[in-house]
Amino acid sequence: MFKNIKHYKENSFFQHILETQINTNARVTQVLNLKIDKSLQKIIGERDLPGEEKYKKNKWWEIMLLRYGIAMHYSKGKDVIETCSGLGWGAYLLDGVAKSVTCIEIDTQAIDVAKKLWKTEHTIYINNSVLKINTKDNKFDVAIAMESIEHFRMKDIEKYLGEIYRILKPGGFLIGSSSFPNTRKEANNLSEKNKFHLYICTKQEMVMLLKKQGFKKIKIFQNRIFFMARK
């Protein structure tokens, strides 16, 4: 596994996450070593798996796992909702530490693939839109939103964050990742590079949106990729 991420200023926190959640985790090893059947490639499409060769070469797999290490750190023994759960490898990691994991995914094929790939003990999958989550208020301790908000228009990002706020318990955590450039120009340039990315928030916009919903203790990490907020 990897030992540190030297270019992050929060190195001591990340180092703790690596040591306690990632480096000796058998499920992490399984995720990295997963071999995908060619018949699943079309379904996988734009979705990413850490073990893909391109991510091993550019070291992006480290970022992919580190963000879930942070989520796992806060999810131990908790009721967790994973929004836009995709291929389910993140939910599989969370399943190893959480009391329960509820996955919300709009793509039924992705749900089928996730169930096929991962053997979980505390996870359920629900075919639902994150813009109107069919669950009661104040239900979850932790909500996860990894690489998802950039797939929505601005007005729908507000709805998405509003739904997460609604279903979190008071004091609950939202933990996620995206890209948060400093300027609108940078954000637009990033959006143009990926047809699936409908709107990338600047760092200032993301903080504003979270505050608007009522979130407190908002933190966008130095890498401008990971973020956290508390209800």
Cα-based torsion angle of the residue sequence 198, 204, 208, 209 in order, rounded to the nearest 10 degrees: 20
Which residue from 103, 95, 99 is spatially nearest to 79, judged by alpha carbons?
99
Residue 122 burial by Cβ neighbours in a 10 Å radius (0-12, 13-18, 19+): middle
Q: What is the pTM of this model?
A: 0.92
Per-residue pLDDT of the chain (231 residues; tens, 9 = 90+): 444 455 554 578 888 898 899 999 999 999 999 877 766 666 666 677 888 888 888 888 888 999 999 999 999 999 999 999 999 999 999 999 999 999 999 999 999 999 999 999 999 999 999 999 999 999 999 999 999 999 999 999 999 999 999 999 999 999 999 999 999 999 999 999 989 899 999 999 999 999 999 999 999 987 789 999 999
Q: Is CATH 3.40.50.1000 the right assignment for the domain spanning 76-230?
A: no
**Joined tokens for residue 71:** 């989520």
